Amino acid sequence: QVQLQESGPGLVKPSETLSLACTVSGSSISTYYWTWIRQSPGTGLEWIGCIYSTGSTNYNPSLKSRVTISVDTSNNQFSLSLSSVTAADTAVYYCARETYYSDSRGYSGHAFDIWGQGTLVTVSS
Amino acid sequence: DIQMTQAPSSLSASVGDRVTITCRASQAITNYLAWFQQKPGEAPKSLIYAASSLQTGVPSRFSGSGYGTDFTLTISSLQPEDFATYYCQQYNTHPRTFGQGTKLEIK
């Protein structure tokens, strides 16, 4: 059974860097896209970015200047770093897996299938 | 960014009802559309991908359809455990974007 578990501080001070890790169990971190998503009452679900097992990344342009996602294949983990945080970055942060599919209709792509339980990060002094 | 718009924002229904939620993309996304279910205090759960393919373990009362810009999620006969918030999401391009959600409540 594949499981994703987020970990990291639940409280971060304004202007500091938010750092979270997602530990993957039951699945190799290779050959998938690994994603960070956040959710706050004000902005709903927001895609932060993703990383492929090779280290190739895509970031949301709205956060790109502050975001770094990295992967540690030896420990089956990937991580999120978000710098210069403000109260607007207060949210529940989820990690998720995108899996490749190819179906009988000839369609193929990468879609979310597994999510972590989420971790609340509050930005406050 | 591709904007995803869901309708309605909230919906009241009874056990056994058939309900439909719509999702519209601001530009064509072929069938790169997923649906998620989220209950209070829980992470979203993946229901459907490629507009109409059910994730493993999802009951057959859930179905999806659509192509291009207009999509629907249908629950054929509501069960008590289906009362939740539902989100659509496009994965045609980066950044991935989500609808604002449809809250399905018990009438």
Q: Which residues of B touch A45 (CB under 8 A)?
A: 44, 87, 89, 98, 101
Among residues B29, B47, B27, B57, the alpha carbon closest in space to that of A112 is found at: B47
The pLDDT, as a whole number, for residue B86 is 98
The pLDDT, as a whole number, for residue B65 is 98
* Cα A70 to Cα A21: distance, rounded to the nearest angstrom: 9
Q: Which residues of A touch B54 (CB under 8 A)?
A: none
Contacts of A45 (CB under 8 A, 6+ apart): A37, A38, A39, B44, B87, B89, B98, B101
A87 touches chain B (CB under 8 A): no
The pLDDT, as a whole number, for residue A31 is 81
- Which of A46, A101, A117 is facing B50, going by the closest CB pair? A101
Nearest residue on chain B to A112, alpha-carbon basis: B46
Contact A110/A34 with Cβ under 8 angstroms? no
The pLDDT, as a whole number, for residue B20 is 98
* Cα B45 to Cα B37: distance, rounded to the nearest angstrom: 5
pLDDT of B22 > 80? The answer is: yes
Q: Which residues of A touch B90 (CB under 8 A)?
A: none
The pLDDT, as a whole number, for residue B63 is 98
Contact B20/B13 with Cβ under 8 angstroms? no
Average pLDDT, chain A: 94
Q: What pLDDT digit, counting tens, does each position of B32-60 carry?
A: 999 999 999 999 999 999 999 999 999 99
Q: What pLDDT digit, counting tens, does each position of A61-119 carry?
A: 999 999 999 999 889 999 999 999 999 999 999 999 999 999 888 889 999 999 999 99
The pLDDT, as a whole number, for residue B10 is 97
pLDDT of A42 > 80? The answer is: no
What value does the mean pLDDT take over residues A32-49? 93
The pLDDT, as a whole number, for residue A54 is 87
* Cα B49 to Cα B53: distance, rounded to the nearest angstrom: 5
Q: Lowest-confidence range among A12-21, A28-37, B30-39, B67-76?
A: A28-37
Q: What pLDDT digit, counting tens, does each position of B60-95 carry?
A: 999 999 999 999 999 999 999 999 999 999 999 999
The pLDDT, as a whole number, for residue A30 is 86
Give A110→chain B minimum CA distance, Å.
8
B34 touches chain A (CB under 8 A): yes
Contacts of A68 (CB under 8 A, 6+ apart): A80, A81
- Let me know how long chain B is: 107
- Which of B42, B91, B94 is facing A109, going by the closest CB pair? B91
